[in-house]
Amino acid sequence: MAQHPVSDSLGSILHALGDLSEDTTVPRNVRAKLLRALEALRSADEHHIKVSRAMEELDEIVDDPNMQPYTRTQIWNIVSLLETV
């Protein structure tokens, strides 16, 4: 049985957020916000509310001066994926 494309996209977003939140090179405060974004996406809220909350958390951390450029790029990629679901 084929899965819904939104489910597949959300699954890849959850996986990417999970990987980043476990990366020890990412500052602790950033990892905490990544976990909050994960929690928002896993909540029982309506789809558009979950996505909006997660994007809000990610938007807050993109400008963190302590973040590595590669991590920032990964977060931007996740935000781009969230905009499509």
Task: Read off the DSSP letter of residue 37.
Answer: H
Please choose, from the candidates 36, 41, 42, the residue with its C-alpha nearest in 3D space to the C-alpha of residue 21: 36
pTM of this structure? 0.85
Own/partner long-range contacts of 23-30 (Cβ < 8 Å, ≥24 apart): 23/71, 25/68, 25/71, 26/67, 26/68, 26/71, 27/64, 27/66, 27/67, 29/61, 29/64, 30/61, 30/64, 30/66, 30/67, 30/71
Q: Divide the 85 residues of the chain into consecutive groups of 10 and give the mean pLDDT of each group.
A: 63 94 93 95 90 93 90 95 91
| Domain residue limits, the chain | 5-84
Task: Return the pLDDT at 1.
Answer: 44
Task: Return the pLDDT at 6.
Answer: 59
CATH number at 5-84: 1.20.1440.50
